[in-house]
Structures are given as structure tokens and as C-alpha cells.
Structure 1
């Protein structure tokens, strides 16, 4: 079981419903297609900050990474990253991921709970 989080560039939506609608549009445009776009500079920076805290799954010799896929940057397309975390580390990793997103002015959305974070 994994926990997924979506982070994207743009203005913070007014509420959870609007965020969900925007996430669905972004997902269809950037993830739900066969055309993967290079991540934007801000999303690339975001991933780098996450990987400063925990290693990429592809480089995790000590099995301490919360990321369920690797390389983590591979989950990014354009202004969006939609990525899974292992369930056992989801609370800690998602809190850090949400705080880091906010520090960069990014939107963080929990598609399972259908709500904005933090």
C-alpha cells in the first residue's frame, strides 16, 4: 500500500474541491498522456530538496527512503509531480513534502483525502 501526493506550480486554489478539479486537469495533461514533459525548474528544485532529506529509491542502500518509485524525478512532468510513498513512512514524509512545497510556493494536494496540504 502506498500514499500518493501531488505537488504543482500555480496559485493555491481557494478550496479542496477546486484543488481536486485542478489536480484532475493537470493529471490528464501531464501524467495521463504518453507525452512526458521535462520537469520545470521549480519542480526539479523541489525534488532535489526531498532527496536531500531521504535518498532516492534507486540509491537507497540502507532502505530508509520513503519513496515508492525511483528515480523520484521520473514522477515529474512539466509543473506537476505526482508521487507515491511507502505507507509506513507516509505521515512523516508527506508532512515534510508538504512543508517543502509551501516553502517554494507550490501547491500540495492529497488526492486520497481530497484536500489541500498543509
Structure 2
């Protein structure tokens, strides 16, 4: 079981409905499309780098990575990254991911609950 978050560049949506629409459009355009691979933007790349500084992608010395699908950068395209976390580590890692997104001026959205993450 996993917990997912979507993080993207752009204007902060007014509400969950607007965020859901933006998410659907960005996901289809950048993550679902297999036509052309789009490299992640510099801001998304930096965001991912900071995430893995805090939560490394590899398991070692009893440490269990929260990421269900490393490498994280492979889940990024253009202005968006889709984070897939193991449910057992999701509470802690998603809280940090949401706070970090805010500090980087990014939007953080919970696609399961269809809500913005504060």
C-alpha cells in the first residue's frame, strides 16, 4: 500500500477543486504521456535533491527508505513530480515533503484525498 503526493510549479490554486483540475491536466501532460520525455525543471530537480538528502533512496544499516519507487527523479517531468511513499513511512515523509514544497514555492496535492496539502 502506498501514499502518493503530487508536487508542481505554478500559481497556488484557490481551493481543492481548482487544485484537482490542475493536477489532472499536469499529470496527463507530463506524466501520462509517453510521446516525448520532458526533463524536470530546475526547481523540481532541486526539490527532489533536498528530499533525498533528508530521506535517502536506498535502504542501509536498518534504515528503510520511504520511497516506493526510487529513483525519485524518474517520477519528475517538467514542472511536476509524483511522489510514491510506502504507507508505513508516509506520515512523516509526506509532512516533510509538503513543508518543503511550500518553502520552495511549489504546490503540494494529495491525489487520493483530492486535497491541497498545507
Pairwise same-fold verdict (TM > 0.5) = yes
Q: Matches of residues 17-56 of structure 1 in structure 2 within 5 Å?
A: 17-34=17-34, 35-56=36-57
Displacement of 1:61 in angstroms is 2.2
Instruction: Decide whether the 8 Å contact of 1:54 with 1:64 is kept in 2.
Output: no
Q: Which runs of 5+ in 2 are unaligned?
A: none
Measure, in 1, the Cα distance between the counterparts of 2:85 and 2:37.
21
Q: List aligned pairs for 1:2-81, cutoff 5 A.
A: 2-34=2-34, 35-56=36-57, 59-62=58-61, 63-81=63-81
Work out the CA distance in 2 between the residues paired with 1:103 and 1:2: 25
C-alpha distance in 2 between matches for 1:77 and 1:36: 7
Aligned residues: 116
For the residues of structure 2 that align with 1:74 and 1:83, how far apart are their CA atoms?
10
Is contact 1:68–1:85 with CA below 8 Å preserved after alignment? yes
Q: Does 1:84 align with 2:84?
A: yes
The alpha-carbon deviation at position 70 of structure 1 amounts to 1.1
Tell me which stretches of 4 or more aligned residues in structure 1 moved more than 3 Å: none
The alignment's TM-score, normalised by the length of structure 1, stands at 0.95
CA distance in 2, matches of 1:83, 1:95: 12
Distance of 1:50 and 1:76 partners within structure 2:
13
| Structure 1 vs Structure 2 CA RMSD | 0.9
Please give the secondary structure, in 1, of the residue aligned with 2:100: helix
Residue 36 (structure 1) shift: 2.2
Q: Please, which runs of 5 or more residues in structure 1 have no aligned partner?
A: none
